[in-house]
Structure 1
């Protein structure tokens, strides 16, 4: 299952326990943005390097995913390589104007999965840190993750308040 949309976390969302048989795969660092081009490479199977996986019974940030235009989800679905990811793989996008937290997906999976079933949620959204005080920009907070090649050093882009970009 690939969750596609706009994602983030703030301390008020807290943490949630990942249920039995479920894991969550994140492709970019925490407090970084996942750019759309990277999402498409993940879906077509050409980029599969995971930053971290949070497995069953572990604590996970209760990330929030917010809606996107239906056309965005449709395009992501067209990029999904089922020959690589499996016939049962799917892209789920939250409707525009709505949002949901991982806890809601975990509750649904807990009710519908049978013993022995497994499910990996691929988080295809930003992992922005949504703090009420702005800061940390020069240290890379919420930078765009441009690492498309697992053999290259990470590359991040930050949009400065004046609209220019800083590459780190």
Structure 2
């Protein structure tokens, strides 16, 4: 097993450095580099999830089943409106915006709601420690035993936790800060 490496990720811009610095070389902010342990990836045999799916073929539009799209409605009215009535199970949503606009705050609120109504939620924080996310949740009055926080920047570690936990929802905050080893 390879020795774990240390990476330092800027909590402001998400850039990754191999050594700690007082000032982020990319965004120029001071004391924003946070230490993360990077595990060596396990050897795999490729895309085993797709290997048993059979050949992939194009499907004509009229032949695609017209099943109704079930949505999980949210109590956050504006988010519900933007998502067309709620979250689509199995879907993927990218939330973007300027730094400090409240993306992480609205995501932790949504995570708490889904944890209450549907089941366990994994909130992956690639820019903040679990402690920082916990403090934000406490400020919002969120304490939920089905809401789990994982401070991780390596895709393989995130996938490993998803496979073990099998959460109803996974939130990655922020996707630009994660990488594959």
TM over 0.5: no
Larger radius of gyration: 2
More helix by share: 2
Q: Which has the higher strand share?
A: 1
Q: TM-score scaled to structure 2, two decimals?
A: 0.30
TM-score by length of structure 1 reads: 0.32
